[in-house]
Amino acid sequence: MKFKPAIKPYTSPAGGWGALASTTRYLRDSKQVLKNIRNLLRVNQARGFDCPGCAWGDDSHSTFNFCENGAKAVSWEATRQAVTPAFFAAHSVSTLRRQSDYFLEYQGRLTHPMRYDAASDHYRPVSWQEAFALIAQHIARLDNPSQLELYTSGRASNEAAYVYQLFGRMLGTSNFPDCSNMCHEASGIGLKQSIGVGKGTVRLDDFNQADAILVFGQNPGTNHPRMLHSLKQAADRGARIVSFNTLRERGLERFADPQSPLQMLTPAATPISSAYYQPKLGGDMAAVRGMVKALLETHRQQLADGLPPLFDMAFIEQHTVGVTAYLAQVDACRWETLVTQSGLSEAQLREAASIYQGAKRVICTWAMGITQHKHSVATVREIANLQLLFGQLGKPGAGLCPVRGHSNVQGNRTVGIDEKAPAALLDSLAQRFNFSPNRQPGHNTVQAIEAMLRGEVKVLLALGGNLAAAAPDSERTARALQNCALTVQISTKLNRSHLYVGNDALILPTLGRTEQDIQAGGAQFITVEDSFSMVHASEGISPPLATTQRSETAIVCGIADAVLGNQRLDWQALAADYGLIREHIAATLPGFDNFNQRCEIPGGFYLGNAAAELRFATPSGKAEFSAAPLPVQRSPAEDGAPDAFTLQTLRSHDQYNTTIYGLDDRYRGVYGQREVLFINPEDLAQLGLSEGEHVEIETRWHDGITRRVSGFKLVSYAIPRGNLAAYYPETNPLVPLSSFGDETGTPTSKSVPVVIRRCRMLPSGTRLL
C-alpha cells in the first residue's frame, strides 16, 4: 500500500460508506478476494469461525456478523503472502529489526519452524521434531520450574490454552503472564472484590432493554464496531447513551450502519450519544463520585420531603454491605476536588446524574480508558458502587459490562491462564491429573519482564502475541527477551518478538482461526468465550497456506510430549481429538458440563454469572461497596514540572494492537502516518508551538532512566488541556515498567507523565515502510 501523510478532519458518521470502502480495499489487498468474501460470510455464524477481531458477542438473528475491522483481521490472516525459509535466508535478524512493525507483519504468514543461528544472525529451518527436542533440552537444564515463563495472548483457543496451562503446572511453574495483565486485569480484580465474580454481568440482549448505557473510556467505533449496532438500536428506541471519553470519538457521536441499505442510501446517521463528557485522563473515578454526590443530595432531599427514597433501599439492605462507609467517603469529597480531578464542571456532573436518575435500567460499559491507570481497581469499583445504589444487578437491561479486547481473552482466564489461579482450579487439576501444582502466585507480565531482566528466567514460551512490542518500556523489554537462554514464539505472522532473541530462539508457525484444522482424529473445531460469557465453537474453513504449519493445540501438545513424555497424559491423543481436551475441561471447570454436546448448540451456551443472579462470592456473601478515597494526585507543578502533560497511548483505526494494517486513523482525520501527538489547541498556543511541528516526548519518572521518542507531529484536537494522546506501540518506549496499577500490575498506558519539546523532523531511521 502507498501512504500519503495528511490531516483532514472527518465529518461523516462512523461506519457508512467509509467503512464499506475500507473493507473492500483490505479484501482486495489480501489478494484473496473471493476466498475472503466467503470467509466473511462465515464469520460468527453457527457454522463458521469466531471473528479473530474483538470479544463482542454474536447476534444470532443477523446474516452478517462482521465489521470493517473484523474484515481487516480476517483478510490480514488469510493472506497468500508467505514468510518462507528463503525470506529468512535473505534477511538477517538485525536488518529486520530496523524495519517497521507494519513492514514485518505485511510480509505474510509464517510457514516453517525456524531456529535462530547466532553465528550467521539468520533464522534457519528446523523440523518440528528438532524444535520440540530443543525446547525439551532447555527445560531439562532448568534449576527450578520458575525459570520458565509461559506467556499467552488472548487469541488462543480454550483447548490450546487449557493444555498449555496444564503442561506448565505439571512442570511446576505458575508463571503465566498474559496480555490480560496489560488489559482488563483491573476489571477482573475490581469486580471480584465488589460482586464476587471477575466478569461482566450483562448479556448481549440486555442492550435491547436498557434505558441508559454509560460508556466509559472506550472507543467502540474502532475497537468494537459491532457494539455500535447495539448502541444504535438502543439510541433508535430512545435509550440515553452517555459517553465519558477524554477525546471526541466519532463512533460515539454518529453512526451509519454499513449493513443497513436504508441508512447507506439516506443521510440518516443515528446520533449515538445524547450526552458526551470529556473527563481528564484518570478522572472517571471523581466523575462517578460526583454523580453519586449529586444523587445522594436528591436522595436525602426526597427523604426530607417525605418522598420515596431515590436509592434502591431494599436491594442495598438485602444484597450489599458497606454502604454507610461509602456514602461517608462521598460526603467527605468536596465538589472542588471532584471538579478538579474529573475535569468536568459541577453542572456537567449533575446533568449526568440526572440522566442516570431518569433511567430504570442502566448498563455501564468500559475498556482501557478505565483499566490502564494507577487507580483502575478503585475506579471499576466506583462504577460498581453507583450501580449497586440503584440495584442495577440481577434484572434485564442492567448491569456491569467490561468490554474485553482479544477475542478469547476471557476464555483463556476461565480455562486456567492465571498466574494467581484460584485454589478450586488447582484442586480439581490435582485430583484429575494426580499431581501437586505449584500454589505460589507466579509472575504477571511486568514481573516476568523484570525477572528476565534480572537474569532469573531461562526459557520463555509465547502462545501468540507480540510481547516485545506490546509490553511497556520497549528498550528494557527487548533486553529482557535477549537475556533468556531460549525464546519460543508460536505465531501466525512475523513480529518484533521474533527479532529480540535469546541465545537460542524458535519461531513455530501456527494455523489461524480461519483455517481448517485436520488432525489424526479428523477435522477439529475449537471453542472461545466472548465478553458475555457465551462459549461457542469455531471452525476454520480455508485450507492452510502450508502443510508445515500446525495448530496451536498440536504445537502445545507436541512440546508437552517432548518435555513430559506420555506417562501421565497422552498428549498426542489430545492433539488428535480436541474433544478429549473438552472432556478434561468439563471434568475440572464449573459450568462446562456436557461441554462436547453443548458445542453443537448454534450460538453456543452461557457459562452463567452468579452475581447476575444475586449470588455474591465475596467474603461477606454480599455485594461490597468500596469506600476507597480518591487517588492522591499531585499537580505537575508540585512535582517541579509545570510544563508536564499526561499522555495516553491508544489505538488507531488501522491497527490491531501491535499489528498495523495501515497508516490511517480515519475517524480522527489522520492519514498516512502514525507518529502524531494529539494536543489541545490552547496548550499549543501556550507552548508557542503550532500544528504540524515536530516534537520529542520525554517521560518524567523518578528512576533516572531517560525515556524519549522523537519526530512526533502535533495535531490540534478536542482533548482536555494538559492531556495528550499518541498511538501505541510507537509510544511504548515511554511507559516505565515500574509504573503500574495498584493491585493489577497493569502498565499505566493511559497516564504517562511527559514533557514535550520542539525537535527537527528526524529521518525515520528505524521505521522504514
Ligand X SMILES: Nc1nc2c(c(=O)[nH]1)N[C@H]1C(S)=C(S)[C@@H](COP(=O)(O)OP(=O)(O)OC[C@H]3O[C@@H](n4cnc5c(=O)[nH]c(N)nc54)[C@H](O)[C@@H]3O)O[C@H]1N2
Which residues bind to ligand X, rule: CB under 6 A? Answer: 53-54, 69, 105, 153, 155, 179, 182-183, 216-219, 222-224, 244-247, 249, 279, 281-282, 284, 367-369, 372, 405-406, 463-467, 470, 490-493, 495, 510, 512-513, 552, 648-651, 655-659, 728, 731-732, 735, 749-750
Q: Least distance (Å) from ligand X to the CB of residue 544?
A: 12
- Answer yes or no: are the C-beta atoms of 737 and 446 closer than 8 Å: yes
Q: Which is nearer to Mo ion, 157 or 263 (CB)?
A: 157
| Cell (9 digits) for 451 | 525477572
- Measured from the CB atom, the residue of 523 and 601 that comes closer to ligand X is 523
DSSP state letter for 759: -
The reply to whether 220 sits near Mo ion by the rule CB under 5 A is: no
Least Å from the CB of residue 631 to ligand X: 12
Q: How many residues does the chain have?
A: 769
Type of residue numbered 251: G
- Taking the complex as a whole, the smallest distance from the CB of residue 659 to Mo ion amounts, in Å, to 13
| Least Å from the CB of residue 406 to Mo ion | 6
Residue 159 bridge partners (DSSP): none
Closest approach, Cβ 428 to ligand X, in A, equals: 26
Nearer to Mo ion among residue 185 and residue 504 (C-beta): 185
Q: Where are the alpha helices (DSSP H) in 172-259?
A: 185-195, 220-223, 225-236, 250-253
Partner in contact with 701, chosen from Mo ion, ligand X, none, beta carbon below 5 to 8 Å by kind: none
Half-sphere exposure of residue 367: CA atoms within 13 angstroms, side-chain side: 22
- Give me 187's grid cell: 476489571
**Angle ∠(179,94,86) on CA atoms, nearest 5:** 90
Can residue 378 be called a binding residue for Mo ion (CB under 5 A)? no
Residue 446, burial from CB neighbour count under 10 angstroms (0-12, 13-18, 19+): buried
Looking at beta carbons only, is 182 or 400 nearer to Mo ion?
Answer: 182
Closer of 429 and 737 to ligand X (Cβ): 737
Alpha-carbon gap, residue 550 to 559, rounded angstroms: 12
CB of 223 to Mo ion, least distance (A): 9
Selection from Mo ion, ligand X, none that 749 binds (CB < 5 to 8 A by kind) is ligand X
- We find the least distance from the C-beta atom of residue 691 to ligand X, in angstroms, to be 19
Binding segment for Mo ion among 112-120, 397-405, 557-565, 666-674 (CB under 5 A)? 397-405
**Cβ nearer to Mo ion, comparing 27 with 401:** 401
From first CA to last CA, the distance across the chain in angstroms is: 10
Site string for Mo ion, 168-197 (x = CB under 5 A): ---------------x--------------
Residue 595 CB, shortest distance to ligand X, in Å, is 21
CB of 616 to ligand X, least distance (A): 26
469 binds Mo ion (CB under 5 A): no
SS3 percent helix, strand, coil of the chain, rounded to 5, is: 40, 20, 45
Stretch near Mo ion under the rule CB under 5 A, chosen from 119-127, 398-406, 599-607, 737-745 = 398-406
Integer Cα distance of 255 and 331 in angstroms:
39
Q: How many whole angstroms separate alpha carbon 304 and alpha carbon 491?
A: 64
Cα–Cα distance, 731 to 767 (Å, whole number): 13
Contact 514, 542 (CB under 8 A): yes
Q: Which helix (H) or strand (E) holds 270?
A: strand 270-271
Q: From CA 198, how far away is CA 606, in angstroms rounded?
A: 16
Q: What is the DSSP string of 547-615?
A: TT-B-HHHHHHHHHHHHH-SSS--HHHHHH-HHHHHHHHHHHSTT-TTHHHHTTSTT-EE---GGGGT-
Minimum separation from the CB atom of position 83 to ligand X (A): 10
Closer to ligand X by Cβ: residue 270 or 723: 723
SS (H, E, C) 659-707: EECCCCEHHHCEECCCCEEEECHHHHHHHCCCCCCEEEEEECCCCCCCC
Closest separation in Å from C-beta 179 to Mo ion: 6
Longest dimension (CA), the chain: 84
Partner whose binding site includes residue 481, from ligand X, Mo ion, none (CB under 5 to 8 Å by kind): none
Shortest approach of Mo ion to residue 656 CB, angstroms? 10
Nearer to Mo ion, 231 or 470 (CB): 470
Is residue 370 a contact residue for Mo ion (CB under 5 A)? Answer: no
Residue 118 has, within 13 A of its CA and on its CB side, a CA count of: 9
From the list ligand X, Mo ion, none, pick the one residue 470 interacts with, judged by a Cβ distance below 5 to 8 Å according to partner type. Answer: ligand X
Q: Compare residues 330 and 417 and give the one whose CB is closer to Mo ion.
A: 417
65 touches, from ligand X, Mo ion, none (C-beta below 5 to 8 Å by class): none
Cβ proximity to Mo ion, 88 vs 176, nearer residue: 176
Q: How many residues bind Mo ion (CB under 5 A)?
A: 2
Q: What SS3 class is residue 502?
A: coil
Q: Which helix (H) or strand (E) holds 424?
A: helix 423-433
- The binding track of 725-754 with respect to Mo ion, each residue x by CB under 5 A or -, is ------------------------------
CB of 317 to ligand X, least distance (A): 32
Nearer Cβ to ligand X, position 320 or 341? Answer: 341
User: From ligand X, Mo ion, none, which one binds at residue 750 (CB under 5 to 8 Å depending on kind)?
Assistant: ligand X
Residue 680 neighbours by CB distance under 10 Å: 18
Q: Which is nearer to ligand X, 609 or 658 (CB)?
A: 658
284 interacts with, out of Mo ion, ligand X, none, CB within 5 to 8 A per kind: ligand X
From Mo ion, ligand X, none, interface partner of 487 (C-beta below 5 to 8 A by class):
none
**Residue 493 interface partner, choices Mo ion, ligand X, none, CB cut-off 5-8 Å depending on type:** ligand X
CA angle 319, 320, 321 (to 5 degrees): 145
Tell me: does residue 145 bind Mo ion (CB under 5 A): no
**Toward ligand X, which CB reaches closer, 410 or 491?**
491
Out of 405, 540, 711, 720, point to the residue binding Mo ion (CB under 5 A). 405
Provide the b/e sequence for 639-663 (b: ≥16 CB within 10 Å): eeeeebbbbbbbbbbbbbbbbbbbb
200 binds, among ligand X, Mo ion, none (CB under 5 to 8 A by kind): none
Compute the half-sphere exposure of residue 394: CA atoms within 13 Å on the CB side of its CA: 17
Write b or e for each residue in 401-415: b if 16 or more Cβ atoms lie within 10 A of its Cβ, otherwise e.
bbbbbbbbbbbbbbb
Give which of Mo ion, ligand X, none residue 410 binds (C-beta under 5 to 8 Å, depending on kind). Answer: none
At its nearest, how many Å lie between ligand X and the CB of residue 56? 9
CB of 670 to ligand X, least distance (A): 13
> Closer to Mo ion at the Cβ: 56 or 592?
56
The closest alpha carbon to 653, from 281, 180, 39, 225, belongs to 225
Distance of alpha carbon 190 from alpha carbon 741, whole angstroms: 12
Name the residue whose CB lies closest to Mo ion. 405
Three-state DSSP at 512 gives: coil
Q: Which does 206 bind (CB under 5 to 8 A by kind): ligand X, Mo ion, none?
A: none
Question: Quick one: 79 or 492, whose CB is closer to ligand X?
Answer: 492
Q: Which residues bind Mo ion (CB under 5 A)?
A: 183, 405
